[in-house]
Structure formats: C-alpha cells, structure tokens
C-alpha cells in the first residue's frame, strides 16, 4: 500500500493574497489550526497537486509560527511563500515577479561583532532556497510573468521599507531585489525543518521609486500575478 504524496504548503500573509489561491483550489476544505486569527488554512487541489494554503498574518513572528505548524502538521513536499513584496532594486518595476533564491534579514545588524549585514549571530549569512525548486519556480515565472521576473536575494524584517529606509538598505544589500515582512522567517523555518523552500512574490510597491516610475499596483492585481505563478509551479510539480 503506497502513501499519498506529500502536499505543497503555500504561505501568504494577508487574506487578499490568499484569495486568488483559494479561487484556484479544487474540492477545497477548511482546516482547523491551533493558531489564533487571522491564521486560516484551506486544502484542495492546485493544478492537480494536493495543496494547503495558509494565511499567516503579517510579520516575522506570524510567518514563523504558521510555517512551523504547517510543516509539522502536514509534512509538505515543499513550502512556497506567495503574495506581494516591495521592490528594492532600482530596476525592478511594479508587477515584477520575484523568484526568491536567497534570503536575509533587512534590519538585523550585528556587524559590530563581525557578522555580515542581515546575519543573525549563530545563523548563516544567507538562507537559501532549494536549487531545484528555484529552477522550477523560475520556469513557472518565465511561462506566466507578463510584467517580467527576477531571481535572487529577498530581504524581510519587521519594518515597512519606505523611501528613507530604502537607500541605506540598497547600500547594505546591493544585490537585494525586494523587501517584505515574512519571507526570510518562512525560509529560515523551512530550512530548520529540512523542507525545500522557494518564494514567488510580486512587487506591489517600489521602495523609493525614481522619478517617472509607476510606484504602486493594487494588492488584488499583484496577488493574482503571484497566484498564477504558484499555480504554474504546482502544475510542474505534478508532472
């Protein structure tokens, strides 16, 4: 007797980011979680792949708690961070799909003790996504990202990156593509629990836009971009 394949675990911070994923689930059912609102979980088929979508709440602690529950309770084959992010790289535009390959903390600073910017003492300089999953996510992005995609470093921390924070952050992290408030926490949790991880988040706002740049897209538009890419990734995993 063979066991059922492990599910895909998709994490999104806000209900608005989960909504287009929920809309794509076939035969979906609500799951009970031990976590208080706003955490919710829904399970169904996404492109034929058994998938659990968890709305985690905003911020590092919320993301880590929800990711820990999702991984320990359901033993997923992989974890995907979905939804929106802020565009940090000067040449990133709103609507760009970011494929997360490396992750670090946007405001962690132990450089006085010899650590790299963003590195937490005792932790790695970078948390890294699973290489095969990153390749699969990039293939999905290439297939569906009408506004383009970028692959690389994402930052996260409990600070909304406004223009005054953006320029110093670009100096500290010249390779960083985006900033949000959950992805590094989810990546670190998946890494600690030995589950493959990747991020597929779309840029909703530019952190300190240049003159003439469009600087904002509505969250429902951006969430749809991310969800389309996650759906394409799930389809690839089902092959």
Q: Just list the catalytic residues.
A: 17, 205
What does the alpha-carbon distance between residue 55 and residue 30 come to, in Å, rounded to a whole number?
Answer: 12
DSSP states of 105-152? ESS---GGGTPPTTPPTTS-S-EE--HHHHHHHHHHHHHH-TT-EEEE
Two tokens, residue 104? 């670090």
Residues in the chain, total? 239
What does the alpha-carbon distance between residue 228 and residue 225 come to, in Å, rounded to a whole number?
Answer: 5
What does the alpha-carbon distance between residue 38 and residue 113 come to, in Å, rounded to a whole number?
Answer: 38
Q: Which residues contact 104 (CB under 8 A, 6 or more apart)?
A: 117, 118, 119, 125, 126, 127, 153, 155, 173, 184
What does the alpha-carbon distance between residue 131 and residue 22 come to, in Å, rounded to a whole number?
Answer: 27
């Amino acid at each position: 007797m063979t066991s059922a394949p492990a599910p895909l675990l998709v994490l999104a911070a806000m209900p608005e980011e989960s909504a287009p994923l929920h809309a794509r689930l076939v035969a979906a059912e609500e799951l009970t979680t031990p976590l208080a609102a706003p955490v919710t979980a829904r399970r169904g088929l996404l492109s034929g792949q058994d998938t659990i979508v968890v709305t985690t709440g905003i911020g590092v602690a919320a993301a880590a708690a929800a990711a820990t529950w999702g991984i320990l309770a359901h033993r997923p084959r992989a974890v995907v961070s979905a939804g929106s992010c802020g565009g940090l790289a000067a040449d990133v535009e709103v609507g760009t799909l970011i494929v997360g390959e490396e992750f670090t903390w946007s405001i962690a600073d132990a450089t006085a003790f010899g650590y790299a910017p963003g590195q937490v003492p005792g932790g790695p300089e970078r948390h890294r996504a699973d290489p095969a999953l990153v390749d699969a996510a990039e293939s999905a992005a290439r297939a569906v990202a009408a506004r383009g995609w970028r692959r690389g470093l994402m930052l996260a921390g409990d600070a909304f990156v406004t223009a005054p924070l953006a320029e110093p952050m670009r100096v500290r992290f010249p390779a960083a593509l985006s900033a949000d408030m959950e992805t590094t926490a989810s990546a670190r949790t998946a890494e600690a629990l030995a589950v493959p991880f990747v991020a597929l988040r779309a840029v909703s706002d530019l952190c300190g836009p240049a003159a003439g740049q469009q600087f904002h897209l509505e969250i429902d538009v951006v969430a749809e971009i991310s969800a389309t890419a996650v759906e394409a990734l799930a389809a690839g995993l089902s092959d």
